[in-house]
């Protein structure tokens, strides 16, 4: 007989099994990090290729740059301790992509380091304003997105602009300007899309209703049709001059409807598709931004700026709606818990507005006075249930409470199905921030005879 540890724990087979389990447990996080690195690198290559298709240039900055948005969007929804795989994926993607567009090995390494630095800077600023994960439930979340995108763009523009200036290149200012604007608007299109969809979790219930989905689909279709028509017109054609002004603003109407009905994920998806339509048509020489310098001095940048304005409008609307929905859901949860607690202890709670006389009652009033709470909507209804000998004194007590005094407790009898029952009424005045009386709230409980 073995004392101390069991014989089973002492066997080599047991130790081997335990070691294997530990190895599997330790290998899972490593596998997840490798998967993240590969996914980020592939996304960088795909978005970089798309950017090159739209705006390839031998200059140091392109008018369209979407690749950095994928990594930045993931940083918005990950804890800082989990950023390393994302940054490693961005580095890998950049160091593979740059030689494909003609960069030297040294330049590719520099651009990869810049990619990591600017992505980290954008994510760090956003995390300071709204700690990750960003859930788009407050305007502060949208502000963090904008700030992170701007810091990423500005940091990269400063580094590359100084690099060109120190190298003696004459286009250093243009490189700075195009890099700043191109990266900023590109991040506003891609990063919110990635941040919102990265948090998608399939659920059996709680998603869009059929009416919301159908309404959003119609609004999205109309939005994309209007946008396509706007950016398909020739600058010299009569159509653009006659209807261009109306079509310029009409997509905003349909896009706001998409944001209201589909929320942040639908809004970011529609915005990204719309941006690709606008950019692709603009580089073909079509649409309202061809033939003029515009605000950014580049047709592709102007188209992106228009799409980014759409995206931010919809994202802000969807965020405000989500904030209201979450607040309403939390209020319902608090109300349910409050009513359950009141009912479990046989209490009745009321809220009285002295200026209007309205009364809101919660609890099992049927047991006490034989009437549902909805029937006790005014102070007069409540006083009608007070025993006649106490009615005048109770009315006077409520009058004193309306003067905004301190906490008050009074005993009186209520008339119910089983006759008069003594109760204890404990009330307190609630004041506004300016000291004005707002409500009288109270708890009524049955007292011993």
pLDDT < 50: residue spans in the chain: 1-10, 13-17, 20-25, 238, 240
Question: In this structure, are 359 and 301 located in the same domain?
Answer: no
Distance CA 253, CA 354 (A): 43
- Of 200, 227, 251, the residue that ends a domain is 200
Secondary structure class of 354 (helix, strand, coil): coil
Contact present, 238 and 277 (Cβ < 8 Å): no
Question: In this structure, are 357 and 298 located in the same domain?
Answer: no
pLDDT at 60: 62
pLDDT at 400: 86
pLDDT at 121: 96
Question: In this structure, are 184 and 107 located in the same domain?
Answer: yes
pLDDT at 250: 84
Q: Which helix (H) or strand (E) holds 362?
A: strand 359-363
Question: In this structure, are 310 and 365 located in the same domain?
Answer: no
pLDDT at 344: 81
pLDDT at 89: 96
- Domains identified in the chain, total number: 3
Question: In this structure, are 207 and 142 located in the same domain?
Answer: no
- Of 326, 344, 362, the residue that ends a domain is 344
- Of 200, 221, 239, the residue that ends a domain is 200
Structural domain harbouring 185: 29-200
Question: In this structure, are 88 and 102 located in the same domain?
Answer: yes
**pLDDT tens digit sequence for 376-400:** 999 999 999 999 999 999 999 988 8
Q: What share of the chain is helix, strand, coil (3-state, %, to 5)?
A: 65, 10, 25
Question: In this structure, are 51 and 190 located in the same domain?
Answer: yes
Q: What Cα–Cα distance (Å) separates residue 315 from each residue in 58, 142, 263?
A: 34, 7, 8
Secondary structure class of 449 (helix, strand, coil): coil
Question: In this structure, are 292 and 355 located in the same domain?
Answer: no
Question: In this structure, are 313 and 376 located in the same domain?
Answer: no
Q: What Cα–Cα distance (Å) separates residue 109 from each residue in 62, 72, 94, 104, 176?
A: 18, 20, 8, 9, 20
Global confidence as pTM: 0.73
């Amino acid at each position: 007989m073995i004392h101390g540890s069991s014989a089973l724990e002492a066997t080599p087979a047991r130790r081997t099994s335990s070691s294997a389990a530990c190895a599997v447990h330790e290998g899972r996080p490593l596998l997840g990090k490798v998967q993240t690195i590969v996914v980020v690198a592939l996304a960088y290559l795909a978005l970089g290729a798309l950017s090159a298709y739209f705006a390839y240039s031998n200059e140091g900055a392109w008018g369209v740059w979407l690749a950095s948005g994928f990594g930045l969007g993931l940083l918005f929804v990950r804890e800082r301790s989990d950023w390393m795989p994302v940054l490693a994926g961005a580095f890998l993607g950049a160091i593979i992509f740059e030689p494909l567009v003609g960069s030297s090995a040294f330049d590719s390494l520099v651009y990869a380091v810049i990619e990591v630095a600017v992505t980290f800077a954008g994510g760090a600023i956003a995390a300071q304003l709204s700690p990750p994960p960003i859930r788009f439930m407050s305007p502060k979340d949208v502000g963090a997105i904008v700030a992170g995108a701007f810091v990423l763009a500005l940091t990269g523009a400063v580094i590359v602009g100084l690099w060109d200036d120190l190298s003696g290149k004459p286009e250093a200012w243009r490189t700075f300007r195009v890099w700043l604007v191109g990266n900023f608007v590109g991040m506003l299109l891609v990063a919110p899309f990635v941040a919102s969809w990265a948090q998608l979790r399939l659920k059996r219930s709680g998603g869009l209703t059929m009416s919301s989905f159908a309404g959003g689909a119609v609004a999205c279709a109309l939005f994309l049709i209007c946008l396509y028509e706007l950016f398909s017109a020739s600058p010299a054609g009569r159509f653009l001059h006659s209807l261009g002004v109306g079509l310029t603003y009409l997509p905003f109407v349909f896009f706001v409807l998409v944001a209201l009905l589909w929320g942040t994920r639908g809004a970011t998806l529609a915005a990204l598709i719309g941006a690709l339509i606008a950019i692709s048509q603009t580089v073909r020489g079509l649409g309202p931004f061809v033939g003029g310098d515009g605000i950014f001095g580049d047709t592709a940048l102007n188209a992106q700026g228009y799409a980014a304005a759409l995206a931010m409008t919809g994202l802000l609307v969807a965020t405000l709606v989500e904030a209201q929905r979450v607040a309403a859901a939390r209020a319902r949860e608090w109300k349910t818990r409050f009513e359950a607690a009141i009912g479990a202890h046989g209490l009745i709670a009321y809220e009285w507005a002295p200026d209007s006389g309205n009364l809101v009652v919660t609890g099992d009033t049927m047991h006490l006075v034989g009437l549902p709470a909805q029937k006790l909507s005014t102070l007069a209804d409540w006083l009608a249930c007070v025993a006649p000998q106490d009615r005048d004194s109770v009315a006077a007590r409520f009058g004193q409470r309306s003067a905004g005094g301190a906490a008050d407790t009074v005993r009186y009898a209520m008339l119910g199905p089983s006759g008069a029952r003594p109760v204890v009424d404990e009330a307190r005045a609630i004041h506004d921030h300016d000291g004005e009386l707002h409500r009288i709230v109270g708890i009524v409980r049955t007292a011993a005879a």
